[in-house]
Copies of this chain bind each other. A is one copy, B any other.
Amino acid sequence: MTGASTIVAAGRGRAFRLSRDERIRIGLPEGPQVADMFAFALPDLGERLSTEHTRSCVDRLAPVVGEAFYSSRRRPMLALVADTSPGTHDLLLSACDQARYTLLGHPAPHRNCVANLVAALGELGLAAPVIPSPVNLFENVAIGPGGDLTIEPPRASRGDAVTLEALMDLVLVVSACPMDLVPTNGQDRRPKAISVERLGTR
Protein backbone atom coordinates (compact mmCIF):
# COMPACT_ATOMS: atom_id res chain seq x y z
CA MET A 1 0.00 0.00 0.00
CA THR A 2 3.05 2.30 0.18
CA GLY A 3 2.54 5.40 -1.89
CA ALA A 4 -1.15 4.65 -2.27
CA SER A 5 -3.07 7.89 -2.55
CA THR A 6 -6.74 8.40 -1.87
CA ILE A 7 -8.98 11.38 -2.45
CA VAL A 8 -11.65 11.67 0.20
CA ALA A 9 -14.43 13.41 -1.72
CA ALA A 10 -15.88 16.65 -0.36
CA GLY A 11 -18.29 15.93 2.46
CA ARG A 12 -17.36 12.23 2.68
CA GLY A 13 -15.31 10.03 5.00
CA ARG A 14 -12.86 7.15 4.70
CA ALA A 15 -11.23 4.75 7.13
CA PHE A 16 -7.65 3.44 6.88
CA ARG A 17 -6.06 0.55 8.76
CA LEU A 18 -2.53 1.56 9.75
CA SER A 19 0.16 -0.72 11.15
CA ARG A 20 2.50 0.55 13.82
CA ASP A 21 5.32 2.68 12.28
CA GLU A 22 3.30 3.41 9.15
CA ARG A 23 3.13 7.02 8.02
CA ILE A 24 0.27 8.84 6.38
CA ARG A 25 -0.02 12.34 4.91
CA ILE A 26 -3.31 14.23 5.07
CA GLY A 27 -3.50 17.23 2.78
CA LEU A 28 -5.48 19.92 1.07
CA PRO A 29 -5.63 19.34 -2.71
CA GLU A 30 -8.28 22.01 -3.39
CA GLY A 31 -7.72 24.68 -0.75
CA PRO A 32 -8.80 25.44 2.83
CA GLN A 33 -10.76 22.55 4.32
CA VAL A 34 -11.12 20.89 7.70
CA ALA A 35 -10.41 17.16 8.08
CA ASP A 36 -12.13 15.66 11.11
CA MET A 37 -9.83 12.88 12.28
CA PHE A 38 -10.61 9.98 14.60
CA ALA A 39 -8.46 6.99 15.57
CA PHE A 40 -9.17 3.74 17.37
CA ALA A 41 -6.67 1.11 18.47
CA LEU A 42 -6.78 -2.31 16.81
CA PRO A 43 -7.92 -4.85 17.63
CA ASP A 44 -9.55 -3.21 20.71
CA LEU A 45 -11.46 -0.13 19.54
CA GLY A 46 -12.22 0.60 23.21
CA GLU A 47 -8.93 2.53 23.20
CA ARG A 48 -9.30 5.65 21.10
CA LEU A 49 -7.58 8.92 20.31
CA SER A 50 -8.71 11.24 23.12
CA THR A 51 -8.46 15.00 22.86
CA GLU A 52 -8.64 15.49 26.64
CA HIS A 53 -5.89 12.95 27.30
CA THR A 54 -3.80 14.50 24.53
CA ARG A 55 -4.10 17.94 26.16
CA SER A 56 -3.25 16.47 29.57
CA CYS A 57 -0.23 14.58 28.19
CA VAL A 58 1.32 17.37 26.09
CA ASP A 59 0.23 20.24 28.40
CA ARG A 60 -0.93 22.12 25.33
CA LEU A 61 -4.20 22.74 23.46
CA ALA A 62 -2.85 20.74 20.53
CA PRO A 63 0.37 18.83 19.82
CA VAL A 64 3.13 20.45 17.80
CA VAL A 65 5.53 18.68 15.42
CA GLY A 66 7.57 16.18 17.43
CA GLU A 67 4.73 15.54 19.87
CA ALA A 68 1.89 13.02 19.66
CA PHE A 69 -1.83 12.53 19.95
CA TYR A 70 -2.61 10.30 22.94
CA SER A 71 -5.14 7.58 23.56
CA SER A 72 -7.81 7.31 26.23
CA ARG A 73 -5.26 5.13 28.06
CA ARG A 74 -2.61 7.89 27.88
CA ARG A 75 -0.50 5.98 25.35
CA PRO A 76 1.06 7.89 22.44
CA MET A 77 -1.02 6.88 19.43
CA LEU A 78 -0.13 9.09 16.47
CA ALA A 79 3.04 11.16 16.18
CA LEU A 80 2.80 14.52 14.43
CA VAL A 81 5.86 14.13 12.22
CA ALA A 82 5.53 17.10 9.88
CA ASP A 83 3.14 19.96 9.19
CA THR A 84 3.51 22.37 6.28
CA SER A 85 0.47 24.39 7.44
CA PRO A 86 0.68 27.23 9.98
CA GLY A 87 -0.05 24.55 12.60
CA THR A 88 -3.54 25.66 13.54
CA HIS A 89 -5.68 22.65 14.40
CA ASP A 90 -8.69 22.37 16.69
CA LEU A 91 -9.19 19.84 19.48
CA LEU A 92 -11.99 21.76 21.22
CA LEU A 93 -15.14 21.47 19.13
CA SER A 94 -17.42 18.49 18.62
CA ALA A 95 -17.79 16.77 15.25
CA CYS A 96 -20.75 18.04 13.26
CA ASP A 97 -23.86 15.88 13.44
CA GLN A 98 -27.45 16.30 12.28
CA ALA A 99 -28.32 18.11 15.52
CA ARG A 100 -25.61 20.69 14.79
CA TYR A 101 -27.11 21.50 11.38
CA THR A 102 -30.62 21.61 12.86
CA LEU A 103 -29.44 24.09 15.53
CA LEU A 104 -27.82 26.18 12.78
CA GLY A 105 -31.21 26.44 11.03
CA HIS A 106 -30.95 23.51 8.61
CA PRO A 107 -33.39 20.86 9.93
CA ALA A 108 -33.34 18.84 6.67
CA PRO A 109 -30.92 15.91 6.50
CA HIS A 110 -27.34 17.09 5.95
CA ARG A 111 -24.14 15.14 5.50
CA ASN A 112 -22.10 15.26 8.71
CA CYS A 113 -18.82 14.05 10.18
CA VAL A 114 -20.42 11.74 12.74
CA ALA A 115 -22.37 9.88 10.03
CA ASN A 116 -19.18 9.80 7.93
CA LEU A 117 -17.28 8.23 10.84
CA VAL A 118 -19.90 5.54 11.35
CA ALA A 119 -20.15 4.77 7.62
CA ALA A 120 -16.38 4.71 7.04
CA LEU A 121 -15.79 2.25 9.90
CA GLY A 122 -18.73 0.19 8.69
CA GLU A 123 -17.05 -0.21 5.27
CA LEU A 124 -14.20 -1.97 7.09
CA GLY A 125 -16.59 -4.07 9.16
CA LEU A 126 -15.86 -2.05 12.30
CA ALA A 127 -18.07 -0.12 14.71
CA ALA A 128 -17.16 2.76 17.01
CA PRO A 129 -18.02 1.98 20.64
CA VAL A 130 -18.37 5.74 21.20
CA ILE A 131 -18.27 8.91 19.11
CA PRO A 132 -15.05 10.58 20.29
CA SER A 133 -14.24 14.26 20.36
CA PRO A 134 -12.47 14.79 17.01
CA VAL A 135 -9.13 16.23 16.00
CA ASN A 136 -10.22 18.91 13.56
CA LEU A 137 -7.14 19.20 11.36
CA PHE A 138 -6.73 22.67 9.83
CA GLU A 139 -9.71 24.08 11.78
CA ASN A 140 -9.08 27.61 13.01
CA VAL A 141 -10.91 28.34 16.24
CA ALA A 142 -9.97 31.67 17.80
CA ILE A 143 -10.09 31.92 21.60
CA GLY A 144 -11.08 35.38 22.82
CA PRO A 145 -9.94 36.98 26.07
CA GLY A 146 -13.11 35.83 27.86
CA GLY A 147 -12.77 32.30 26.53
CA ASP A 148 -15.23 32.90 23.69
CA LEU A 149 -14.69 30.67 20.67
CA THR A 150 -15.03 31.82 17.05
CA ILE A 151 -14.76 29.57 14.02
CA GLU A 152 -12.65 31.39 11.44
CA PRO A 153 -11.55 30.31 7.95
CA PRO A 154 -8.55 27.94 8.00
CA ARG A 155 -5.08 29.49 7.95
CA ALA A 156 -3.95 26.51 5.86
CA SER A 157 -3.78 26.75 2.06
CA ARG A 158 -3.98 24.46 -0.93
CA GLY A 159 -1.10 22.00 -0.86
CA ASP A 160 -0.61 22.08 2.90
CA ALA A 161 -0.44 18.73 4.66
CA VAL A 162 0.28 17.05 7.98
CA THR A 163 2.26 13.81 8.26
CA LEU A 164 1.41 11.37 11.03
CA GLU A 165 3.05 8.15 12.17
CA ALA A 166 1.05 5.37 13.80
CA LEU A 167 2.57 4.42 17.16
CA MET A 168 0.32 1.36 17.46
CA ASP A 169 -1.88 -0.64 15.09
CA LEU A 170 -4.99 1.44 14.59
CA VAL A 171 -7.80 2.48 12.31
CA LEU A 172 -7.77 6.13 11.28
CA VAL A 173 -10.88 7.88 9.99
CA VAL A 174 -10.76 11.08 7.96
CA SER A 175 -13.92 13.05 7.23
CA ALA A 176 -13.81 15.93 4.76
CA CYS A 177 -16.12 18.12 6.86
CA PRO A 178 -19.38 18.90 4.99
CA MET A 179 -19.97 22.18 6.87
CA ASP A 180 -21.32 24.83 4.50
CA LEU A 181 -23.18 27.13 6.91
CA VAL A 182 -20.29 28.67 8.87
CA PRO A 183 -16.74 29.44 7.58
CA THR A 184 -15.17 26.21 8.93
CA ASN A 185 -13.97 25.31 5.42
CA GLY A 186 -13.16 28.80 4.22
CA GLN A 187 -14.80 32.12 3.61
CA ASP A 188 -16.57 30.58 0.59
CA ARG A 189 -18.15 27.92 2.87
CA ARG A 190 -17.54 25.34 0.16
CA PRO A 191 -16.67 21.80 1.31
CA LYS A 192 -13.63 20.45 -0.53
CA ALA A 193 -11.79 17.16 -0.90
CA ILE A 194 -9.01 15.87 1.37
CA SER A 195 -6.04 13.82 0.13
CA VAL A 196 -4.66 10.88 2.08
CA GLU A 197 -1.32 9.34 1.06
CA ARG A 198 0.11 6.22 2.64
CA LEU A 199 3.87 6.71 2.97
CA GLY A 200 4.82 3.29 4.33
CA THR A 201 7.34 2.91 7.13
CA ARG A 202 10.57 4.84 7.50
A93 to B70, CA, bound (A): 13
Chain A residues 176 to 196 lying within 8 A of chain B, measured CB to CB, are none
Specify how many copies of this chain sit in the oligomer: 2
Given contacts A72-B131, A73-B99, A143-B61, contact A94 B149 (CB under 8 A): no
CA distance A129 to B129 in the complex (A): 9
Residue interface mask A43-66, B partner, CB < 8 A = 1: 000000011110111011110000
Residues of chain B lying within 8 A (CB to CB) of residue A100: 56, 74
Contact A59 B149 (CB under 8 A): yes
- Please tell me if A103 contacts chain B, counting CB pairs below 8 Å: yes
- Closest-by-CB residue of B relative to A46 is B130
- Contact among B52, B60, B148 with A147 in the assembled complex (CB-CB below 8 Å): B60
Pick the contact of A52: B53, B129, B133 (CB < 8 A): B133
